Chains A and B, each alone.
Chain A
Amino acid sequence: MKIEPSLAVVQALGQKPVYRASELFGPAGSRATAYRFIRRLQELGLAAETQRRGRFTVRSSAFQPYQTLVHLLPSLRALKQARYFGRAYDESDVNYARKSLRGMVTLDYRAYELTRFQTPHIFFVYTEDFDQQAKSLRSAGFSEGSKGRVAILPKEQGGGFENEIQRVYLDCLAFGGRSTLDAIAIELLYGDQLSVRGEFPTDLVLKVREDLPA
């Protein structure tokens, strides 16, 4: 990954819930460059447009240092392709998916199994037969949309699945938001199994350490 000027610009704006495209005009140098940067962030899976044109969100992982971000690219690529499914939109959907889907569980549910730190919500699973699994969920009465509690992710060859804990950690880091806390909890408990680590503010690490179950 070459050094991305788009990242430097968004990092300079600081973390917030929503950004206006116009906020980037000045730091990017021009309106056209600002929009090019936003498109680049979207391609990387770090930014997403909101319901309103010209407003977008940025994953908190965009604020990780450059040397860490390089390792987040496979996770970001997978998250960008995630497909969400729901039937009853409650825990029963997760129970069904657990029994019927084959693959590697990551993010919420795997982080909870590893740390018991934060209750899970969405069941994310990596699968090799991505389209086939989507088809089987649809035939079981699931609808595809954005609110489902079952999410399938494509498992790419060479995507760094050799060390499962490392992969879950990087997925949590890439997902950002509340999953950042999962990443910290994994690092506190399984730090010896991680070769790539993120950077976190000290107060956040202290909060997780304080709240981790004994």
Chain B
Amino acid sequence: MSLESIAVMVSRDLKEVVFVGAFAVICHIGPYRRTRDIDLALATPLSDEEFEGLGYRIFRESGKKVIRTPEGVKLDVYTRDVSGIPVSEVFSTAVVKRVGSGEIRAMCLEALLIAKMRASRPQDIEDVQTLCRRLGKAVRWVVVDALATPMESAELKNVVSAFSR
């Protein structure tokens, strides 16, 4: 089963879900490189029993709680913030995206760029460059200014302008 179909099913199962991370990048730009795990933000945390009741499996791997869908796809669940952006703001700024045969909610472009800039691992830096190259002109600076610090906003403007033709 494709990751897109699994995301649609996860959305149906868990209800208040916003996809973040690499899967959100794909929602915005289309096919790209990704690992076979899904990062998501939940409006209301679910207990282990609630996850298991929905057919999800909970494991302890290297001392860390791991949630897997019935198909075995690993879910990284955020309930407080995503790279410092409170989950409430992730939800209020989320956008609806069509993937495969269904619709899901994904982190908006602006929040995604800020989260990736803050993480700044090699893969995040590549994602920021790709998003700015392809969608730089679509960035809503009002949203960026509301979510980021003035320094981060200025840095992001610098990145977007570097890739603008």
Which A residues contact B (CB, under 8 angstroms)?
15-18, 20, 50-52, 55, 57, 60, 90, 108, 117-121, 176-178, 180-181, 201, 204, 206, 210-211, 213
Residue ID in chain B nearest A177 by CB atoms: B126
Contact yes or no, B125 A17, CB < 8 A = yes
Partner of B161, one of A16, A52, A119: A52
Q: Which residues of B contact A211 (CB under 8 A)?
A: 35-37, 74
How many Å from the CB of A144 to the closest CB on chain B? 19
Please, what's the 1-or-0 string for B112-146, where 1 marks a CB less than 8 Å from any CB in chain A?
00000100111101111100100000000000000
Question: Is B60 an interface position by the 8 A CB rule?
Answer: no
How many Å from the CB of A164 to the closest CB on chain B? Answer: 21
Residues on A with beta carbons closer than 8 Å to the beta carbon of B132 = 17
Residues from chain B with Cβ under 8 Å of A201 in the complex: 121
Assuming the contacts A52-B164, A121-B31, asked whether A210 and B122 have C-beta atoms less than 8 A apart, the reply is no
A52-B164, A210-B61 are known contacts. Are A15 and B125 too (CB-CB below 8 A)? Answer: yes
Q: Which residues of the partner chain B approach A57 to less than 8 Å between Cβ atoms?
A: 129, 162
B101 at the interface (CB under 8 A from A): no
The one of A50, A117, A178, A210 in contact with B163, judged by C-beta atoms closer than 8 angstroms, is A50
Tell me if B12 is interfacial: C-beta within 8 Å of chain A.
no
Cβ of B33 under 8 Å from chain A: yes
Number of B interface residues in the complex (CB < 8 A) = 31
How many angstroms between the C-alpha atoms of A201 and B125 in the bound complex? 15
Complex: chain A residue closest to B158, CB-CB: A18
Chain A positions within 8 Å of B37 at CB level: 211
Extra 14 A-B pairs, beta carbons < 8 Å, given A177-B123, A210-B74: A16-B155, A17-B117, A18-B159, A50-B162, A51-B164, A52-B163, A60-B126, A120-B33, A178-B123, A178-B126, A201-B121, A206-B62, A211-B37, A211-B74
| Residue in contact with B122 in the complex, picked from A108, A119, A176, CB distance below 8 Å | A176
- In the complex, which of the residues B31, B32, B35, B66 contacts A181, with contact meaning CB atoms closer than 8 Å? B35
